[in-house]
Amino acid sequence: MKRLSKFVLGAILPMAALIGGQVSAKDYADMDFSGITVTVLSRPGPVISGAVDARGKQFKELTGLNVVVEELPYSELFNKILTDWSQGTNSIDAAVTSSAWVPELVDMGLVANLEEFVQADTNLKPEDITTYFREFNQKVNGDTYTLTLDGDFHMFYYRTDVLNRFSQEPPRSWDEWFAVAEAINGKDMNGDGEPDYASCQFKKRSAQNYFVIMSVAAPYLQTMGTSQGLWLDTETGNPGINNPGMAEALRVYKKMGDYGPPDELNMDIADIRSMYLAGRCGMLIEWGDTSPLALESDVVRNLWGASQMPGSTKVWNRDTNTLDDCNPTLCPHAEDGINHSPFGAFGGWSAYINKNADPKVLEAAYQFFSYMNAPEQSNYDVTQGWTGFNPYRTSQFENLDNWLDAGFTRASAAAYLNGLKESLNNPNFSSDLKIPGAAQYTSVILDRELARYLAGEISADQMMSNVEEGWNEVTDDFGRDRQIKLYRGMLGLSAAMN
């Protein structure tokens, strides 16, 4: 996931020198956690865990709390947490990992419910956290179990200078995307005299490709708001993958390759980032890192525009199983007849606490993560590329000062933040899958069959049928009723089914 590809910006500088921003001292002077240690598990730093460690040192100066950050490769994190907490070892007090794992751990009774802490917290300012991250990313069945530290979702990026040179407007739909691609593909975009590409997209197998197809597919599949969901039927648990909307998304995704590098199927996100930072790409789908990363490039610094993902004028009608034109009933959130559904790919790095931690440790861990989440700290941290944190608070979009200090121009900061805000404010924002077996559904089955389709080994119909069969097997292995319950909880629906 994004964990494999975050660029470490400024890693050669001392960590403490990079962490800045205002320190919110309100109420912290009254907290005394001297003699208490909180052990936090996360991925190898300095990305993510380095920021947790640096903020931990600051929090110790304020409260006396000793924060110890332990690191493991991403592939080992979930099993470590599961075994440590379920077997009663409890050597780990808290974790900063993918929020997608939290519903399963909550269902097993392993994660502390933070709702009472949140309700009494004067520093957190939860109303400033955007709706998706506050109500869907942080909550399970209506209660807060995790605090967001990083807002991850896909956005659409485009070279403003290239589109302007060829008199093109940023595309709002996939039809418009192809018109722009026709106009700019093969043109020299970095002044080296060589033809460049309208589109650069990572499509390598086992390298996050499945996130991108779902970003393309989301506006075809989800129309009625976040609680409708992309992945499964909320009543039956049947996969939402084998239908005319997904078929159209697969056609679009494969056709995009006509405007990209010839070896795109062998390229991961690191390869694509090298290309777009060298000025070889006109458009791409990426996380919120693109514009901050571009500040390190002499070629494309402050030249990337951003918007919510392109949408579609045609969507899957679930009642008739047909691909129909948008109308106010079928697409109530459409803009100018275009249905958008920005996709919360990965969902972001979030903090949660062992339910069986000592009560004093649990309280101290909560206050530390609240300190990191609070706007006085997080509004600075999200502007620093090396932290791995992307915006998730409304105030992070409204105050340009930290972004200007990071090296953005006023125009590029406004473009970037407007794209983020446009995405997060969309009531049809689509959630990543956050139920048991999520990795099996996505990074195994979907990734494998998508790679086979893109390579020409199987047809779109075969791909969708194979994924549908595989997903049904996973659902039944975990227990269909349990999966439906957890899926509904992830979408903010009641556990009861009609």
Question: Which CATH number is 9's domain given?
Answer: 3.40.190.10
* 278 and 357, same domain (yes or no): no
Gap between the Cα atoms of 299 and 165, Å rounded = 16
* 16 and 113, same domain (yes or no): yes
* 252 and 139, same domain (yes or no): no
Alpha helices by DSSP H, listed for 257-306, are: 269-277, 290-294
- Give 419-471 as a 3 state SS string: HHHHHHCCCCCEECCCCCCHHHHHHHHHHHHHHHHHCCCCCHHHHHHHHHHHH
Residue at a domain's end among 390, 409, 431: 431
Cβ-proximal residues to 243 (8 Å cutoff; 6+ apart), any chain: 221, 316, 318, 321, 464
Residue 312 lies in a domain: yes
Task: Tell me the torsion sign for CA atoms 296, 297, 303, 307.
Answer: negative
What's the pLDDT at 284?
Answer: 97
β-strand partners of 284: 157
Residue 444 lies in a domain: no
Gap between the Cα atoms of 353 and 365, Å rounded = 7
Q: How many domains does the chain have?
A: 2
What's the pLDDT at 27?
Answer: 73
**Per-position DSSP letters for 13-40, written without gaps between them:** S-HHHH--S----TTGGG---TT-EEEE
Of the candidates 363, 371, 344, 365, the one whose C-alpha atom is nearest the C-alpha of residue 149 is 371
Tokens linked to 204: 């390598």
* 29 and 129, same domain (yes or no): yes
* 177 and 55, same domain (yes or no): no
Name the one residue in this structure whose structure tokens are 């595309």. 171
Gap between the Cα atoms of 95 and 270, Å rounded = 26
R_g of the chain computed on alpha carbons: 22
Residue 479 lies in a domain: no
Gap between the Cα atoms of 311 and 252, Å rounded = 12
Residue 495 lies in a domain: no
Gap between the Cα atoms of 82 and 84, Å rounded = 6
Fill in the amino acid letter for 222. Q
Q: Which domain holds residue 288?
A: 155-345+427-431
Residue at a domain's end among 431, 450, 473: 431
Largest interatomic CA distance in the chain: 64
* 108 and 226, same domain (yes or no): no
Q: Are the C-beta atoms of 32 and 64 separated by less than 8 Å?
A: yes
* 313 and 356, same domain (yes or no): no
Question: Global pTM?
Answer: 0.88
Residue 21 lies in a domain: yes
* 242 and 111, same domain (yes or no): no
Half-sphere exposure of 173 (CA within 13 A, CB side): 14
Residue 48 lies in a domain: yes
Gap between the Cα atoms of 430 and 419, Å rounded = 16
Number of residues written out for the chain? 498
Q: Is 152 helix (H, G, I), strand (E, B) or coil?
A: strand
Q: Are the C-beta atoms of 95 and 365 separated by less than 8 Å?
A: no
pLDDT tens-digit profile, the chain (498 residues): 444 333 333 333 434 444 555 555 557 878 999 999 999 999 998 989 999 999 999 999 999 999 999 999 987 999 999 999 999 999 999 999 999 889 889 989 999 999 999 999 999 999 999 988 998 899 988 899 999 999 999 999 999 999 999 999 999 999 999 999 999 999 999 999 999 999 999 999 988 899 999 999 999 999 999 999 999 999 999 999 999 999 999 999 999 999 999 999 999 998 999 999 999 999 999 999 899 889 989 999 999 999 999 999 999 999 999 999 999 999 999 999 999 999 999 989 999 999 999 999 999 999 999 999 999 999 999 998 889 899 999 999 888 999 999 999 999 999 999 999 899 989 999 999 999 888 899 989 999 999 999 999 999 999 999 999 999 999 999 999 999 999 998 888 865 444
| H or E element in which residue 138 lies | none
The CA-atom distances, in angstroms, between 380 and each of 16, 20, 149, 152, 393 are 13, 7, 12, 17, 11
* 335 and 352, same domain (yes or no): no
Q: Are the C-beta atoms of 333 and 343 separated by less than 8 Å?
A: no
Of the candidates 151, 206, 226, the one whose C-alpha atom is nearest the C-alpha of residue 378 is 151
What's the pLDDT at 14?
Answer: 36
* 352 and 339, same domain (yes or no): no
Of the candidates 406, 416, 401, the one whose C-alpha atom is nearest the C-alpha of residue 386 is 406
Residue 421 lies in a domain: no
Q: Are the C-beta atoms of 159 and 300 separated by less than 8 Å?
A: yes
Which region, left, alpha or beta, applies to residue 279 given φ > 0 means left and ψ of -120 to 50 means alpha?
Answer: left
* 137 and 202, same domain (yes or no): no
Fill in the amino acid letter for 455. A
Task: Tell me the torsion sign for CA atoms 372, 376, 377, 378.
Answer: positive
Gap between the Cα atoms of 321 and 427, Å rounded = 23
Gap between the Cα atoms of 361 and 353, Å rounded = 9
Q: What is the pLDDT of residues 429-443, one digit of tens each?
A: 999 999 988 889 998
What's the pLDDT at 20?
Answer: 56
* 111 and 230, same domain (yes or no): no
Of the candidates 313, 337, 317, the one whose C-alpha atom is nearest the C-alpha of residue 240 is 317
Alpha helices by DSSP H, listed for 278-357, are: 290-294
Tokens linked to 360: 């004093």
Q: What is the pLDDT of residues 78-119, one digit of tens each?
A: 999 999 999 999 999 999 999 988 988 998 999 999 999 999
Residue 438 lies in a domain: no
Gap between the Cα atoms of 314 and 51, Å rounded = 43
Of the candidates 84, 141, 85, the one whose C-alpha atom is nearest the C-alpha of residue 109 is 85
